[in-house]
Amino acid sequence: MKAVAKTIRTALLAATTALIGIGTPALAKDAAVEVKIDAAQTGPVIDRHIFGQFAEHLGSGIYGGLWVGKDSPIPNVRGIRSDVVGALKALKVPNVRWPGGCFADEYHWRDGIGPADKRRVQINTNWGGVPESNAFGTHEFMDFAEMIGADAYISVNIGSGTAAEASAWIEYMTAETGATTLAKERAANGHPNPWKVPILGLGNENWGCGGAMSATHYVEEMKRFANFTRNFNPAQREGAARMKRIAVGWDSDKLDYTEEVMKAWKDHVYSWDIEGVSLHKYTTGGWPPHLPATGFGNEEYAIAIADTLTMDSLITRQSATMDKYDPEKKLMIAVDEWGAWLAPTPGSNPGFLQQQNSMRDGVLTALNVNIFARHADRVKIANIAQMINVLQAMILTDGSKMVLTPTYHVFRMYVPFQDAQTTPVTFDAGKYVNGKHTLPSVDAMAAKDKAGQVWVSLVNVDPEAGTSVTIPGFRTASGEVLTAPKADSVNTFAAPSVVSPKAIAGKASGKGVTITLPPHSVAVVKVSN
C-alpha cells in the first residue's frame, strides 16, 4: 500500500482504495459531486421486470450455454446446466423472453414438443446457418424458467406463422388439466398442469426480420393475433394477473409502428387489447456493429457510452407518441431488446454474435438501468440481449467452464432496486470530454425498498479519474463497487475475478457521507442517518 499511497492525493482516497481492493487509481477530482436525495418523497415503482433476460436460439446461447442434454457429463438437471441455474437464481431474474428475436418469427412450436428423437431438425437461417435440433422446446424452456423462478415471456410467430398456430400454442401451455385435447397432449408429454404465461410478445421486429411489414399491415395482423391468442389459465384471466400482450413498436429511428399501434389501440373494439409496446435499442457506435469488445481506448469507450445514453431520448420520444393516445399511461413500454452489440470475437462464427464483456459493459449496464428507472412511469419491462454467450451476456461458458461477466455483477448488485420506489435525486453530473464526445462525468439514481431502506446507484463514467460523491443528510453508506484496472478489463475462464464487486463504505462529515469512486466504476450503496 505504500507504493499506492504515493500516487494518490489524500489519505482518504488511499483508505478507500484499500477497502475496495483495487489497483492503483487515477487521481481523484478536486471537488466532490453532491448528490441530493429527497428521501421523504417517492415516485413510480421500478418494476422488477426491467431486469428481464433474453434467451434466443442463437449461437451457443441455448445449446451449450443453457442446455447440455440429460446425458451430458456437465452437471445438469433434466438437461439444464446446474451452474447456470445457480448463477441466475442469484439475480432474481423476473422474466425470460424466448424463443427470440428473429428466430421467433420462424419458430413453429410443434417442432419442439414430444420425443426428442422425433423433433424436426432445421437450419437456423437467421443465425449462422447451423442445424437447429429443437431439443430445447416449450417443456424445456418452461422447466428452466421454473428452476430460476422467472416468468415466461413468450414471443409468438406473426412473421411466418398463423393466428391459429399461436392460439393453439397458448392453449397447449395454459389450458386447465384435461380440459381440452391440447391439454391432454401436454400431459402426455409430461406436464399435466397448466403453465402461466404472464407476458406475450405479438411478433418481433416485423418491420425487419419478422416479415418486412408496413406499420399498417402489422397492426392488422397484430389485432388478429391479440384477438385469438387467449390465455386459458384460470389464474390469469382477470385483473393484474392477466397476461400482458406486447405489440411491436420502435423501428430503428422511426416511430411509425408505435404511432399506428397506438392509434389502433385508442379506438380498439372489445375483442382485442394490448398492454404494451416494445422498443429495441442496441449500443453499437454506428451500424454495422464494429466497436471492439476488448483492446479499445478512451475514444472508443466514449463512443459507446455516448451511444448508450441516447436510450433516454428514444424512450422520451416513444413516450411522447404514446401520450397522444394514452395520456393516462395505461400502456407500458417494453424495452425488450437492449445492450451492447459489438464486433464479434475474432475466429468465431459471425452469425453467433459472440463477444467479450468488459468493465465498459458494466458501466453502460448501470447507465441504461438508471434511465429505465427515471422512466418508471412508462418502462415496465426490459430484456437485455442476451443471457448467455450472445451479445452483452450475463454468463460465458465453454464446455464445463463458466465465468460471470461485469454485466452479471451489475445486475446482481442492482437486486435491491427491484420493485423499489424511486426517490428524487439532484446532482451536477459534470463533464468528461474526449474529442467530440462530451459525457456526464457521473450518474446517480436512488430508490426506497419496501422496508424503507434507501439505496443509491453511483456511476463514475470517467475512465481516467476517480471522484468523490457526497450525499447530504446521511451519515453512513455501505455496499459494493465494481471496477477494474482498465475500462477494457474482462473476466476469463483463467482469470474469472479481474472484474468483481468489492466492499465500499463512505465517510461521515458535517456535509453528509462521502464515497470515493474509482474511474469507470459502478457502486450500489445503502445509506442511513
Residue 496 lies in domain: 2-43+423-528
Q: How many angstroms separate the CA atoms of 510 and 488, rounded?
A: 37
Residue 3's pLDDT band, with cuts at 50, 70 and 90, is very low
**pLDDT in the model for residue 15:** 29
Sign of the torsion formed by the C-alpha atoms of 438, 376, 336 and 392:
positive
- pLDDT over 80 (residue 219): yes
Q: 321: burial class by Cβ within 10 Å (0-12, 13-18, 19+)? A: buried
Q: How many angstroms separate the CA atoms of 133 and 188, rounded?
A: 21
**Mean pLDDT of the residues in the chain:** 93
96 and 235 housed in the same domain: yes
399 and 441 housed in the same domain: no
pLDDT tens-digit map of 427-464: 999 999 999 999 999 999 999 999 999 999 999 999 99
- pLDDT over 80 (residue 95): yes
Instruction: Give the residue numbers marked as catalytic.
Output: 205, 337
**pLDDT in the model for residue 31:** 67
Q: What is the mean pLDDT of residues 303-321?
A: 97
Q: How many angstroms separate the CA atoms of 427 and 366, rounded?
A: 17
Could you give the 3-state DSSP secondary structure of residue 422? Answer: strand
130 and 193 housed in the same domain: yes
Residue 206 grid cell: 416485423
Q: How many angstroms separate the CA atoms of 86 and 147, rounded?
A: 9
Alpha helices in 197-326, H assignment, sequence order: 215-228, 256-266, 298-309, 311-325
263 and 138 housed in the same domain: yes
- pLDDT over 70 (residue 7): no
36 and 61 housed in the same domain: no
Q: How many angstroms separate the CA atoms of 86 and 404, rounded?
A: 12
Pairing state between β 379-384 and 395-398 = unpaired
Single-letter amino acid code for the residue at 242: R
> What H or E segment, with its residue span, contains residue 88?
helix 82-89
Contact indicator for 57, 132 with CB cutoff of 8 Å = yes
Number of domains, the chain: 2
30 and 161 housed in the same domain: no
Burial state string for 337-369 with b = 16 or more CB within 10 A and e = fewer than 16: bbbbbbbbeeeeeebbbbbbbbbbbbbbbbbbb
- Picking from 86-95, 106-115, 234-243, which range would have the lowest pLDDT averaged per residue? 234-243
- pLDDT over 90 (residue 237): no
Residue 510: name the closest of 456, 472, 468, 469 by CA: 472
Contact indicator for 53, 391 with CB cutoff of 8 Å = no
pLDDT tens-digit map of 139-192: 999 999 999 999 999 999 999 999 999 999 999 999 999 999 999 999 999 999
Contact indicator for 407, 361 with CB cutoff of 8 Å = yes
256 and 381 housed in the same domain: yes
The CATH number covering residue 432 comes to 2.60.40.1180
What one-character-per-residue DSSP string does 358-376 give?
BHHHHHHHHHHHHHHHHTT
- pLDDT over 60 (residue 11): no
Q: What crossing angle do the helices spanning 298-309 and 311-325 adopt, rounded to 10°?
A: 10
Which one of 385, 418, 451 terminates a domain? 418
